[in-house]
Amino acid sequence: MAKMIVGVDLGGTSIKLALLTNNGEFIDKWEVPTDKSDSGKHIPKTITIAIEDKLKQMDKTKEDIAGIGIGAPGSVRLEDGLIFAAVNLGWVNFPLKDILEKESGIPVIVDNDANIAAVGEMWKGAGNGAKDVVMVTLGTGVGGGVIVNGDVAHGISGSAGEIGHITVQLENGVLCNCGKTGCLETISSATGIARIANEKLQNTTKETVLKEMSNDSPITAKDVFEAYSNGDEVAEEIVNHVMRYLALVLAGVGNTLNPENIIIGGGVSNAGELLLKPLKKYFDEFAFTTVRDSTKLSIAKLGNDAGAIGAAYLVKKFITNEI
Amino acid sequence: MAKMIVGVDLGGTSIKLALLTNNGEFIDKWEVPTDKSDSGKHIPKTITIAIEDKLKQMDKTKEDIAGIGIGAPGSVRLEDGLIFAAVNLGWVNFPLKDILEKESGIPVIVDNDANIAAVGEMWKGAGNGAKDVVMVTLGTGVGGGVIVNGDVAHGISGSAGEIGHITVQLENGVLCNCGKTGCLETISSATGIARIANEKLQNTTKETVLKEMSNDSPITAKDVFEAYSNGDEVAEEIVNHVMRYLALVLAGVGNTLNPENIIIGGGVSNAGELLLKPLKKYFDEFAFTTVRDSTKLSIAKLGNDAGAIGAAYLVKKFITNEI
């Protein structure tokens, strides 16, 4: 019987673990808290114990595991699994693969979490097996994973996929967490949408349900899409504004790579068709004709499972060489 | 002794041929006119005869050739060397590889001309062996070639690298040849620079040498850089305007792929440092911090030889499997 695979999605608050079949189906999922003390040096030990405990419960051993695939929140060098920097965990130049392999005695492959989610969607989700896929994650920030010819693009310093920091406003852009102004992230993240909505409420004289929604607490991105789905005109203006800039960037990425799929994930993507319809309209306006006609936009399908599934794919690709 | 390689750069006016060593050094270069009659159906025959004549002169045979690498001006499917469309040659869904292999009796590999030039620069030019390289060609239009993990990105319809058609002006953009408005090509191509300069001359009251330069014939991109090198203020404004938009796109591509090198080629790149200095200034402003610090901008080194050298590389990679 083919060995099982461990998928790990490493976050600043919790470590999500999953045990998967060789074919990427879930056997079990569980999580443990992230111990960030001492600059995150205990994390490999935490992961090892979590896996050992699970194997014991199942009456299995390390021999039953083909490898551990990990998505880490930072820039990664694939070849040796070095984390250049993972600010949330306190890691700088942290040789995660080496340490975890020594600790656990199981082969390890590491990649950036957004990249691994993109790989998961490529394999089992909205990418549907395509070899050229771009995934953009709209959450607190805007992340990205880029797959070209079936392989994740990392670039020379592991910063490929920083789509959220593409400049979209040349004049009067808002300051981004990255230190620049006018980044896509300042507009199309959940945070950006909420900011734009709250600003708009201060400056509009139009009737809008957003006004009542803002009585108790500031408007959220979810509120905006909810109001939009009920035909609210001000919410529609906000959604159009946000999707126009997202489309501008995705058309640019589309013209650069002509991927088969551009997949929208993250919390904001729960808006589904409400998001996709205006996004496609503007994408068609900005994309080169052939790209417009061949690159498909779609909503991510795997949600939080994308990371573990992507990690399993990387184990099959780089550890057991089955792909 | 290792076999020789034929590199072909297929243009609308002439077909440039080269005989190279297995290591990508030139043995001979020559050209023949492009016969576009009958929707370009005679082109494979023309190429075959040109090669046969050359071999005869050198007292060599087809057995001495490892393969033919061809750069074609259109979108290409690498796997089977199908040209989706090459408008200048009259080809639509033209199976170039199949026809030329049958005609010549020599193995053939085909790719888009901008991609092949990028490969040439990656191998022997400004890319200096890097595995992630983007090349942008500033000529009559703006072309692009994208290399990720050592392989050319084609995308699902062969339109990867259409960097010239990334939208940079959301409002009041000029109509592009592609049918959209506000594309980079309308600004940063030789044509775009000339257009902007001639418009500016109509609307400026400032003293500028461009006025005298325009007495006999309309201002060209070359005139603009010449005036700029002599400290002309209006020319400087034009160069800054053009380089700011080019930098915006290259920083976006940089954030997406974090390539080791972004190489500027084409006629406009003859401006060298005059172009590179303002371009770098704006790139540093628009690129994500890590990308700014790790992705290098440089001028192409191989000029018109890039195509033949890139073609030779593809023969080594896909026909003789030496790379």
Chain A closest CA to B77's CA: distance in Å? 13
- What's the one-letter identity of residue B237? E
Residue-wise pLDDT for A178-233, tens only, equals 999 999 999 999 999 999 999 999 999 999 999 999 988 999 999 999 999 999 99
CB < 8 Å to A75, chain B: 290
CB < 8 Å to B156, chain A: 130, 132, 258-260, 294-295
Interchain pair B155, A258: CB under 8 A: yes
**Structural element, H or E, at residue B113:** helix B113-124
What DSSP line would sit under A130-186, residue for residue? Answer: -SSEEEEEESSSEEEEEEETTEE---TTS-TT-GGGSB--SSSPPBPTTS-BSBTHH
- What's the one-letter identity of residue A234? V
Q: Which CATH architecture has domain B130-301?
A: 2-Layer Sandwich (3.30)
**What is the pLDDT, as a whole number, of residue A88?**
83
Residue-wise pLDDT for A38-75, tens only, equals 999 999 999 999 999 999 999 999 999 999 999 999 88
Optimal mutation site among A255, A282, A295, interface B, most CBs of chain B within 10 A: A255
pLDDT at A12 exceeding the cut of 90: no
**What is the pLDDT, as a whole number, of residue B323?**
86
Strands B14-20 and B26-33: antiparallel
Contact A89, A33 (CB under 8 A): no
Residue B84 makes CB contacts below 8 A (sequence gap 6+) with: B74, B75, B76, B77, B92, B93, B157, B158
Residue-wise pLDDT for B32-55, tens only, equals 999 999 999 999 999 999 999 999
Domain ranges of chain B: 4-119+304-319, 130-301
Residue-wise pLDDT for A114-168, tens only, equals 999 999 999 999 988 899 999 999 999 999 999 999 999 999 999 999 999 999 9
Contact A121, A136 (CB under 8 A): no
Work out the percent of chain A whose per-residue pLDDT is above 70: 100
Q: Which residue of A has its CA nearest to B149?
A: A153
Residue-wise pLDDT for B244-263, tens only, equals 999 999 999 999 999 999 99
Token pair recorded at residue B69: 């690498």
A155 and chain B in contact, CB less than 8 A:
yes
**What is the pLDDT, as a whole number, of residue A59?**
96
Burial class for B140, CB neighbours closer than 10 Å (0-12, 13-18, 19+): middle
Cβ within 8 Å of B, A 56-75: 75
Residue-wise pLDDT for B99-137, tens only, equals 999 999 999 999 999 999 999 999 999 988 899 999 999
Measured in degrees and rounded to the nearest 5, phi and psi for residue B155 equal 80, 180
Q: Which of B255, B285, B294 sits opposite A166 (nearest CB)?
A: B255
Contact B243, A141 (CB under 8 A): no
Contact B252, B292 (CB under 8 A): no
Q: Count CB atoms within 10 A of the CB of residue B231.
A: 9
Cβ within 8 Å of A, B 208-267: 244, 248-249, 251-253, 255-260
Token pair recorded at residue A239: 């959604």
How many Å separate Cα B144 from the centre of its chain?
Answer: 6
- Cα(A241)–Cα(A243) distance, integer angstroms: 6
pLDDT at A240 exceeding the cut of 80: yes
Interchain pair A251, B167: CB under 8 A: yes
Residue length of chain B:
323
pLDDT at B1 exceeding the cut of 80: no
**Structural element, H or E, at residue B112:** strand B108-112
Interchain pair A260, B156: CB under 8 A: yes
Work out the percent of chain A whose per-residue pLDDT is above 90: 90
Average of per-residue pLDDT across A290-319: 96
A218-231: b (≥16 Cβ within 10 Å) or e? ebbbbbbbbbbeee
- Helix, coil or strand: residue A321: coil
Chain A closest CA to B313's CA: distance in Å? 18
Contact B187, B196 (CB under 8 A): yes
pLDDT at A1 exceeding the cut of 80: no
What radius of gyration, in Å, describes the C-alpha atoms of chain A? 21
Chain B closest CA to A165's CA: distance in Å? 6
For the sheet containing B75-77, what is the strand order?
B75-77, B82-86, B91-95
- Cα(B20)–Cα(B315) distance, integer angstroms: 11
Give helix B221-229 / helix B233-257 axis angle, nearest 10°.
110
**What is the pLDDT, as a whole number, of residue A227?**
97
Interchain pair A260, B149: CB under 8 A: no
What DSSP line would sit under A223-282, residue for residue? Answer: HHHHHHHTT-HHHHHHHHHHHHHHHHHHHHHHHHH--SEEEEESGGGGGTHHHHHHHHHH
Among B117, B230, B247, CA closest to B187: B247
Q: Do domains A4-119+304-319 and A129-301 have the same CATH topology?
A: yes
Q: Count CB atoms within 10 A of the CB of residue B203.
A: 6
- Cα(B171)–Cα(B185) distance, integer angstroms: 16
- Cα(A70)–Cα(A118) distance, integer angstroms: 13
Burial class for B93, CB neighbours closer than 10 Å (0-12, 13-18, 19+): exposed
CB < 8 Å to B241, chain A: none
CA B47 → CA A89, A188, B103, B211, distances in Å? Answer: 60, 51, 9, 46
> What ipTM, to 2 d.p.?
0.93
Average of per-residue pLDDT across B199-213: 93
A318 band by pLDDT with thresholds 50, 70 and 90: very high
Burial class for A191, CB neighbours closer than 10 Å (0-12, 13-18, 19+): buried
* DSSP 8-class letter at A2: P
- Cα(A41)–Cα(B258) distance, integer angstroms: 29
Interchain pair A162, B256: CB under 8 A: yes
Class of CATH domain A129-301: alpha beta
Among B44, B25, B22, B26, CA closest to B34: B44
Range A4-119+304-319 classified under CATH 3.30.428.10 = no
* Beta bridge partners of residue B92, listed in sequence order: B85
Interchain pair B166, A256: CB under 8 A: yes
* Degrees, nearest 5: CA angle A281-A173-A199: 80
- Cα(A264)–Cα(A121) distance, integer angstroms: 10
- Cα(A24)–Cα(A217) distance, integer angstroms: 41
Contact B186, B174 (CB under 8 A): yes
Residue-wise pLDDT for B287-311, tens only, equals 999 999 999 999 999 999 999 999 9
Q: Is the dihedral of CA A197, A203, A209, A215 positive or negative?
A: positive
pLDDT at A323 exceeding the cut of 90: no
- Helix, coil or strand: residue B78: coil
Chain B closest CA to A130's CA: distance in Å? 9
